[in-house]
Amino acid sequence: MNFPIYHNVNGVSTQYAGGVIPQGDLSGPALNYIKAISQYAPNKIGASGLLDTYTQGGTGIFNSDQWDVRLDGQITQKAHAFVRFSRFTDTLTGNLLLGAAGGPGFGLGGYGGNSSGANDSTAAGMDIAINSSLVTDFRLGYYRYNINDQKFDAGTTAATDLGFGGLNTGDPITSGLPGFQINMPNNGQTEWGAGLNINRCNCPLIEKEDQYQIVNNWTKTIRNHAVKFGVDLRYARNLRVPSDVDRTGLFNFNGIATAFTPDKGDPTPSSPGLGLASFVLGDVNQFNRYVSTSTNAKEFQKRTFFYAQDTWRTTPKLTLNLGIRYELYFPEVVNGDGNGALMDLSTGYLHVAGVGGVPTNMGWQAGKNTWNPRVGLAYQATDKTVVRAGYGRSFDLGVFGSIFGHVVTQNLPVLANQSIQGGGSQASSYAQPFNLATGPAPNQTVSVPSDGLLPNPGSQVSTKARPNPLKLPTLDAWNMSVQQSITPTLSLTMAYVGNKGTNTLSAGDGNNTNPNEAGIFLPGAQSITGTPLHYDPAGGTCFPVGAGCTAANAINPATGATAAQKFLERYYAGVLPACQDPNYLQPTGESLPPGACGWNQPIGYYGDNQNTHFNALQVTVAKQLSHGLSFTANYAWQRGFNYNNSYATWVKAAAYGRDDSIREQQLVVFGAYELPVGRNKLLLPNASRWVDEIVGGWQLSPVLNVSGGLPYSLSMSNCTTSVGGSGIGDNSGHPTAAPCYPNGNPGAFHPKQGKFNPVSHSRPYFTALPQLCPGTGAGSGGFTCPALDQIGNTGRNSNYGPHFFNTDLAVQKTFPIKESVSALFRMDAFNVFNYISSGTPNGNSNSVPIDGNASITNGIGGNGIGTVGQSSPRQLAFTARITF
């Protein structure tokens, strides 16, 4: 592969002769795993070296069952009651590409594992007409969401059997294989074993969420007013024991341990090393695993809602709807002392529930001024024209822990994401964190101080924080439409729709930001030198001069230039009260000044502190059923903008751009047409009964979707000489989190999709430009490499990818058997024209290097909403149903 392999010989990077690693240097556990997968020999030519060289078919199942029971009774002439129970069960499984050695799964969405679910919902209620103008109703409700996910090899000692130490600890939650992520040249990666991002199984996972609900509504009619008011009381509970990071372990192997960087003046070519070589040597770059002290830590939350509204028919042509709603979400509490914690970013302390003076809600406060105004109007201008308009505000619970669940009980002291890093920047300085046969050291359980204030050990684990008081994701929405009746069965509606989200999630449902991400510039108050620092690939990587830090490698305080990620993070040398606490153990060997935190792990800040904007012109043509035909055609010209969560804590403007999932133009047409064939129809009106049974009553139901492309960002294959970051949302292993944009006019980039290449399984999209960085100043194709520490001006999601086209068609007919019995036959053809809509280059990424990967290797999923994997070819589904 033309990548020389180096190793450390007495502190010197020394090349292996002939590129061959001696048997004695190889890791036994790594070799055992290689032997386990050796039966799966390459059977295809990969598009990128060692990647994509093996293909195989497999199976997975997804079975679901649902049943409902409802009883209704008329208690009195004025009172009606009901009770209902529903149950939904499902089973999801998937075999593995590499069998007992793991790898990608063959189940739904690439799933590999065993999942079962049982979800229940029940309700009982009554409505009472007190008199002719006053009606009330009340309802009691309960639902339960219950999921259990298990590894494909759960209960085994697969890791121990292969010689990996310290992974299968005896606790069933750590059974089975770990995961292996092996970095390849040119930003590729191969993944083996088990893990969420390997076979889409968050295993093991226990998820039990339920909610109790009491609702009471009143309606009073007063002349031309219909006044409604009511209350909705809810109590939510949640238990989640996740494995976002595999509990047996997740290994990352990159090229650092086998890399070589020459000193100044040394003519020897540099080498990035090889992740696969690091793997067989057992040289770990990073190791992570989830470790819990309790698997029964639960969250509880009270939610109360009150509302009042008036529907006022002011004139025969004008109706107004005025309303107000108040929502109170209490801060969640946990089910026992020490069963949860939240970090206060302003102090650096984790507030541990129920310990010392810390209450079980960690001392957090509810959101303020949570009022929802709503107003709407409908005006009938003429007999055929209706004007409608409205405005409303609503709040949302957010996603995965914004204000409830998934955060407080997945923090220290309950859950730790143990992280062990290999040291060094090349073979000569690489320090192996542990031997694969010995395994990682057990995670050290933290000791909570008696006052319940635990200084965040941010050099060892990633912790989670929320703002105090809580911020509720808020959506203000407004619209105005004009509906015109063209014929008795045909209407046209034109509408403007807009909304603004405040304190919402980031792009792609990103529910947190990282305040400790590395910036391009760092203020002196937060720097290790006490002077401002900035990114420079030629800058220092250590400070101060001393043991292990030479003058040639040290940061010069006068220039502040550094190439080291940790020195550009806010909380590495930053000072917080918790880091000055006597209970805080400052990282050793870092030469940190007194009081400095030394945090180099990410912080998950669930601040809901992003905004969104959406505006659209929507046109709808709707035809009601007549002559066997009905259809609806919707056209939208729309734009949405939001913020990416990466780098938003430094420069929000750099994270702002078009919404990843919104296509600027979209046409969707759906309808139903009963063929005019058979008895009393246009064709064969006098058909006999048996002929009519065969050819009559057939109905076609098509769905057509023609849409523009999804947005993506123009990027570069190398940002080392400018900002040190990578593509949007990917700053893993890069010195900063800054986005990698070129300078230039995005409108000058004109890709053109070519024909499918059956050998490379790709479609050319554009001709890659010569490498922009390091730049010569001349630029290429109108684009240039930004100067040092400058973010390019093309911006986020500046361009649109290939269009989307899809047609589904259903054909069905009902056969009457006798008076109360009928049979339905239905065929669904998904993607009936078998048109494969392309994704974007760079593996469906929303960041495309214009001087790099110029081919499309993935398609958009069948719904066309987002980049959800391989495109779906035509699929046929047949259904038969008996109704009696």
pLDDT in tens, 611-665: 999 999 999 999 999 999 999 999 999 999 999 988 999 999 999 999 999 999 9
Q: Cβ atoms within 10 A of the Cβ of 557, count?
A: 17
3-state helix, strand, coil in the chain (%, to 5): 10, 45, 50
Residue 865: the pLDDT is 33
pTM of the prediction?
Answer: 0.88
Which segment of 47-51, 300-304, 313-317, 848-852 scores lowest on mean pLDDT?
47-51
**What is the rounded CA–CA span in Å between residue 408 and residue 342?**
6
Mean pLDDT confidence for 500-526: 90
How far from 875 is each of 222, 481, 688, 833, 871, CA to CA, in Å? 56, 38, 35, 10, 12
Q: HSE of 853 in the Cβ direction (CA atoms, 13 Å)? A: 23
Evaluate if residue 870 carries a pLDDT over 50: no
- How many CA atoms lie within 13 Å of 618's alpha carbon, on the beta-carbon side? 19
For 663-689, the pLDDT digits (tens) are 999 999 999 999 999 888 888 988 888
Task: Give the residue among 308, 577, 294, 314 at the shortest CA–CA distance from 455.
Answer: 577
Q: Whose structure tokens read 């989307």? A: 804
Separation between Cα atoms, residue 699 and residue 684, nearest integer Å: 16
Q: Give pLDDT, residue 728.
A: 41
What is the mean predicted confidence (pLDDT) over 571-592?
92
State the pLDDT at residue 270.
81
Tell me which residue of 114, 105, 111 sits closest to 56, measured CA to CA: 105
Question: Rounded to whole angstroms, how far apart are CA atoms 628 and 220?
Answer: 42
* pLDDT score for 378: 98
Q: What pLDDT score does 10 carry? A: 87
On the question of pLDDT at 778 being above 80, the answer is no
CB-CB contact of 660 with 710 (8 Å):
yes
DSSP annotation of 8 reads: E
- Which three-class secondary structure state does DSSP give residue 579? helix
Q: How many residues does the chain have?
A: 884
- The total of other beta-carbon atoms located within 10 Å of residue 166's CB is 20
Burial string for 457-483 (b: 16+ CB within 10 Å, else e) reads bbbbbbbbbbbbebbbbbbebebebbb
Q: Where residue 51 falls among pLDDT bands split at 50, 70, 90?
A: low
In the predicted structure, residue 404 carries a pLDDT above the cut 70: yes
Percent of the chain with pLDDT over 70: 94
Q: Picking from 46-50, 417-421, 878-882, which range would have the lowest pLDDT averaged per residue?
A: 46-50
Do 398 and 475 meet the contact criterion of CB atoms below 8 Å apart? no
Is residue 861 scored above 70 in pLDDT?
no
Helix or strand holding residue 573 (H, E): none
CB-based burial label for 324 (10 Å; 0-12, 13-18, 19+): middle
Alpha helices in 496-547 (DSSP H): none
Task: Say whether pLDDT at 727 is over 50.
Answer: no
Q: What is the pLDDT of residue 109?
A: 85
If one counts every other C-beta atom within 10 angstroms of the C-beta of residue 61, the result is 12
CA within 13 Å, CB half, 177:
28
Strand partners for 610:
504
**Contact indicator for 573, 592 with CB cutoff of 8 Å:** yes
Q: 180 vs 819, which has greater pLDDT?
A: 180
From CA 593, how far away is CA 569, in angstroms rounded? Answer: 15
CB 604 within 8 A of CB 592: no
Task: Identify the residue whose tokens are 């997740």.
Answer: 250
Mean per-residue pLDDT over the chain, rounded: 90
Predicted local distance difference test score (pLDDT) of residue 179? 97
- Please determine, for residue 173, whether its predicted confidence score (pLDDT) is greater than 70: yes
Q: Determine which of 124-128, 371-375, 479-483, 508-512 has the lowest per-residue pLDDT on average.
A: 508-512
pLDDT at 856 over 90: no
Please say if the pLDDT value at position 50 is more than 60: no
Tell me which H or E stretch contains 276. helix 275-281
The sheet with strand 533-540 has its strands ordered as 521-522, 533-540, 561-562
- Within a 13 Å sphere around the CA of 351, how many CA atoms are in the beta-carbon half? 21
The pLDDT of residue 419 is above 50: yes
Whole-number Cα distances in Å, 46 to 54, 56, 57, 235, 842? 8, 14, 17, 53, 15
pLDDT at 45 over 70: no
Q: Is the pLDDT of residue 47 over 80?
A: no
pLDDT of residue 862: 40
Please identify which residue in the block is written with the tokens 């292993």.
733
Averaged pLDDT, 750-754 = 88
Phi, psi dihedrals of residue 763, rounded to the nearest 5°: -125, 125
Q: Is 321 helix (H, G, I), strand (E, B) or coil?
A: strand
Query: How confident is the model at residue 2, as a pLDDT?
Result: 66
- For 307-330, what is the mean pLDDT? 97
Residue 489 pLDDT more than 80? yes
Assign 457 to helix, strand or coil.
Answer: coil
CA separation for the pair 649, 655 (Å, rounded):
9
pLDDT (average), residues 239-262: 93
User: Which of 347-351, 541-545, 844-848 tops mean pLDDT?
Assistant: 347-351
- pLDDT of the residue at 858: 64
Distance of CA 231 to the CA centre of its chain: 34
More confident residue, 30 or 505: 30
Query: Taking Cα atoms as reference points, which of 653, 644, 848, 611 lies closest to residue 742?
Result: 848
The DSSP bridge pattern shows strands 561-562 and 533-540 to be: parallel
DSSP string, 88-109: EEEEEEE-BTTGGGB-SBSSGG
**pLDDT the model gives residue 863:** 37
| Identity at 410, one-letter amino acid code | Q
Of 87-96, 475-484, 831-840, the one with minimum mean pLDDT is 831-840
The band of 195, judged by pLDDT with boundaries at 50, 70 and 90, is very high
Q: Decide if pLDDT at 581 tops 60.
A: yes
**Any residues with CB less than 8 A from the CB of 877 and at least 6 apart, and which?**
827, 828, 830
**What are the residues whose beta carbons fall under 8 Å from the beta carbon of 587, sequence distance 6 or more?**
459, 598
Report d(CA 202, CA 110) in Å as an integer: 12
Task: Report how many helices (DSSP H) and strands (DSSP E) the chain contains, helices first.
Answer: 7, 41
Strand positions, DSSP E, 437-532: 453-455, 463-465, 474-487, 490-504, 521-522
Question: What beta strand segments (E) does 760-867 contain?
Answer: 763-764, 799-800, 804-818, 821-830, 847-849, 855-856
Percent of the chain with pLDDT over 90: 69
